[in-house]
Structure 1
């Protein structure tokens, strides 16, 4: 791997790189994509950017304090984003969605559908937004998953793809009920019920062409975000696993060890030597 790409991946975690043009970040996997999306949005807003947040699948409608602007496309049939009425002269976060979805669960949260990957590709080159953060996958609130045939829905112009996994499932026995798309996950990773989810299984998920980074553009920076490290049974063992994975996989540029709900979420960053 080229050291320049390594450097970009490391700097991206510190948010000190000058951006030429627009940046598209897609989040996939399970275990905290939405928390990561809005943390990233705030980091870029604080850098002076107008940030566009949406989903190419479904996600929960954020609370009013999480975004400065909300765009509802429910009755918009021309596939154009009505941003002309927004004040984008100052840094801001704009959340865009299409339809509210009736939910069968007991949660008070409202799920919404989002936009197409093609619309993000168009907006990247022709809109006042400079950063796009797109939740491109669904996991039914489970900490880990494998993608189905139609998943994930990643914009082809994505500059960075972040695969998220909940740390609470790592180094535990594989239980199908805790893993989204279990049958696919088992086949891709060669994992059987009761196996320990270790560096071998996770490495297979990351490396497989149909695995975590399926549909990720070849040129995109690829980051594995291990979230909820406060729930890990053994942080030292988790760190050792992360070192093994990044040393033995060809697709990863960096691993972030994080607790996205804390004030300083990124606890450690590993990059390839």
Structure 2
């Protein structure tokens, strides 16, 4: 289930590529470089987008400027092996690649290797932030790590954080206290997520001026969370942000088309 926010409504759409207007390739004469930041489902969002490219017959490469978990799939590669990349792009349609790292993870490739990846004429998806699997995040000074070549930034938030304490749900809760002017024992509200997503020191931090900035509200898995997502969209509109996507698992009760 994917909605886009339009004219004060959530309108169902077929794909993330459609919602991000990526179906017509060749943005500014280049293929897309999409960086996912924030928390609450970055890897899931990139999986979804990569699978859409594969279904469309368009090869895609996924990498990280921080860390991602290496999955037990043959298209997850440790190290820049160009022959292996070509083989898996032909065979599986996608490659997830990073430098070998402890704990079953893939880490950032070297600058030289990233430059090589950027020369491949295929869409490049990047996990550019880490959040210890929490639904919300406020970045530290060294975060996120967004390449200047990025054409689209996806700032991801988990709707399951609303109603829970800041200290339970926000990575770097001490920074969230300052930004939200709240105690970490207080609960997260819809307005709090809008504040984080709109802030130049949080959700929009490091976003290149030429990149399209999109807020992704993830885990809209029931009507209550969809209503919360719409409330956040309205708060974001007040702050000048209208490009918002809402994602979640589809159920029969949610197939309404427009909310």
- Give me the TM-score of the superposition, normalised by structure 1: 0.76
- For the 8 Å contact 2:31–2:123, the answer to whether it is kept is yes
- For the 8 Å contact 1:225–1:255, the answer to whether it is kept is yes
Residue 168 of structure 1, CA deviation: 0.7
- For the 8 Å contact 2:193–2:232, the answer to whether it is kept is no
Q: 1:268 to 1:97 in 2, by over 3 A?
A: farther
Residue 138 of structure 1, CA deviation: 0.6
Structure 1 consecutive aligned stretches of length 4 or more whose deviation exceeds 6 Å: 266-270
Of 254, 264, 267, which residue of structure 1 is paired with 2:243? 254
Partner of 1:97: helix, strand, or coil? strand
Partner of 2:245: helix, strand, or coil? strand
Show the counterpart of 2:105: 111
Residue 42 of structure 1, CA deviation: 1.0
Show the counterpart of 2:8: none
Partner of 1:98: helix, strand, or coil? strand
Residue 111 of structure 1, CA deviation: 2.3
CA RMSD of aligned residues (A): 3.1
Show the counterpart of 1:235: 225
- For the 8 Å contact 1:29–1:212, the answer to whether it is kept is yes
CA deviation map 1:198-241 (0-9, x unaligned): 24322221222211121111121111111111267x23531431
**Stretches of structure 2 lacking an aligned partner (at least 5 in a row):** 1-15
- For the 8 Å contact 1:50–1:93, the answer to whether it is kept is yes
- For the 8 Å contact 1:121–1:155, the answer to whether it is kept is no
Show the counterpart of 1:3: none
Matched residue pairs, number?
A: 239
1:137 aligns with 2:119: no
**Stretches of structure 1 lacking an aligned partner (at least 5 in a row):** 1-8, 74-80, 103-109
1:18 aligns with 2:7: no
- For the 8 Å contact 1:160–1:221, the answer to whether it is kept is yes
Greater shift, 51-60 or 89-98, is seen at 89-98
CA deviation map 1:2-29 (0-9, x unaligned): xxxxxxx994446532334321111111
Residue 114 of structure 1, CA deviation: 2.7
CA separation in 1, counterparts of 2:116 and 2:242? 27
Q: 1:173 to 1:263 in 2, by over 3 A?
A: closer
Partner of 1:191: helix, strand, or coil? coil
Show the counterpart of 2:10: none
Of 153, 159, 165, which residue of structure 2 is paired with 1:167? 159
Residue 58 of structure 1, CA deviation: 1.1
Aligned counterparts, 1:37-52, within 5 A: 37-52=46-61
Show the counterpart of 2:38: 29
1:188 aligns with 2:185: no
